Amino acid sequence: MTDEVLGIDIGTTHTKCCLFTDGEFKYESSLHNGYQEAGELSMYTHKEQNIGALVRSLDDCLSKFGNNLKVSRFVVTGQMHGIVSWKPKIMEIINHETLTSLMNGCVKKHSNLITWEDQRCDEEFLKSFPKSRCGNGVSTGYGLASLLWLQEAGKLEDYTMCGTIMDFIVWLLTQTERVYMTPHNAKSWGYFDEELMAWESEIFSGKIDPSLLPTVLPVQQPIGMATVSCHGITKNHTVVYGALGDMQCAVRSCRPKGNEAVLNIGTSAQLSIIVDKDSSMVHQTISQNHSELQIVPYDQENVIVTAASLNGGNVLHQLATSLVSWMTDLECQNVPSSSEVLIKFNQLQTDAGTSLLEISPTIFGERHDPNLSASVRNIRPDNLSLGNIVAGMSRGIIENMFRMMPLDFRRKHDVQRIVGTGGALRASKMLRGYVVEISGLELRMAEDTDASLGSILFVQQD
């Protein structure tokens, strides 16, 4: 019997699916408008996505594989840090043609997804909570920070379960009495002790009912069998695994060698290296000297040291969106979409003989410095072309990444080559050129890489 393994990536702007069957990987993708359908709540500090839009996007993506699937193993990855809350309702377990139908049948009420980009938890609010005893505190956009904010706002009374959007999909398919989460996503929520595999519940004692929090199980462990049939996922046949983090899955899909660091630039950006879990205490000491670096779970033997920036492809997208807005304000005719402007960005050239704009592109702040803003220097009459502005932005994104993981740290870990992945890096020759120039290292663009593929590699029986 063919072993059909289905990997899903629920990203910030896209849903992607990877099917491993007959020794081949097949891909499908679908855009979603989760932010737009969340309405005004998705604006400014409150970054929320409508989970109905995300589930419909997943339905659309899965339908492209046709009706002849019989999935033996299912695994989902996606945007980390975020949180969705829901209350189930009792229903007869029947087959459903779509996940949307399944959700409507078994969920009495659900919230929007508060995403990793959310900014509602200001510095004063975050400082009101104790420091993590294991160094895994919270920032705005982290699941537990958002949960504490919701509790203080009196917005949790109607819900009995919560998790990432990926945990929600796993729960839909398995209908377990509790929500289960892997250390990938638990770490991204904050206040999680990886050594004890437990939440630091003393920090939020009396504020959050511990029964609301997911139970954490090891990476690569099945949650159970599917209890419904939908899109080739078959009741009592498909094994459903715990949801994984998209950053870890993106790294996995690159299959990096021991002396390679992985640079992933999509909506956000991460520069990561894999290290042995037994030496993590050494790296913990190092990371304490570099607040920009984080240590996150990977697999049973290794952890990842990563510089995770909030400023990646979203910076260029914001510039494109602003340009469209300016053209609209000026009543220009035939105003292109922001997606069309982004394509034009990748075709622009800098002006020969001009000095480059010096742009610090951190318009979304950083987790280690939420108040960080962007700035521009070296503005001259001859360097204000759009090509120069895009070049300055692109160089600034790359400079920021290598500043967060400095040269002495990379040398200590013998990083000799960069493996590149992510939609923004793949689309931009300018970004790729600055990686080589600024790092002084060779860049190898990983082919056929995707977080959905990486999720499959985590659960494949090698």
Rounded mean pLDDT of 134-149? 91
pLDDT for 92: 63
pLDDT for 462: 47
Q: Please state, rounded to an integer, the average pLDDT across all residues of the chain.
A: 90
Identify the weakest region by mean pLDDT among 37-46, 262-271, 317-326. Answer: 37-46
What amino acid is encoded at 121 in this protein? Answer: C
On the question of pLDDT at 253 being above 90, the answer is yes
Who wins on pLDDT, 250 or 95?
250
pLDDT for 460: 84
Rounded mean pLDDT of 101-125? 92
Give the whole-number percent of the chain exceeding pLDDT 90.
Answer: 68
Q: Which of 133, 129, 286 is nearest to 195 (CA)?
A: 133
5-247 and 256-445, same CATH topology: yes
Rounded mean pLDDT of 208-221? 93
- State the fold for domain 256-445: Nucleotidyltransferase; domain 5 (3.30.420)
Angle at which helices 338-345 and 313-329 cross, to 10°: 120
pLDDT for 402: 97
Distance CA 75, CA 78 (A): 11
* Secondary structure of residue 182 in the 3-state scheme: coil
Homologous superfamily of domain range 5-247: ATPase, nucleotide binding domain (3.30.420.40)
On the question of pLDDT at 210 being above 90, the answer is no
pLDDT interval class at 239 (50, 70, 90): very high
pLDDT interval class at 42 (50, 70, 90): low
Identify the weakest region by mean pLDDT among 26-35, 241-250, 281-290. Answer: 281-290
Who wins on pLDDT, 282 or 338?
338
Give the containing element (helix H, strand E) for 241.
strand 239-241
pLDDT for 34: 73
On the question of pLDDT at 1 being above 70, the answer is no
Distance CA 284, CA 229 (A): 44
Distance CA 24, CA 2 (A): 11
Rounded mean pLDDT of 396-413? 93
Give the whole-number percent of the chain exceeding pLDDT 70.
Answer: 94
pLDDT for 371: 84
Angle at which helices 165-174 and 51-63 cross, to 10°: 60
* Secondary structure of residue 57 in the 3-state scheme: helix
Who wins on pLDDT, 191 or 31?
191
Q: 44-91, pLDDT tens digit by residue?
A: 678 999 999 999 999 999 999 888 889 999 999 999 999 999 999 877
> Domain spans of the chain?
5-247, 256-445
On the question of pLDDT at 281 being above 60, the answer is no
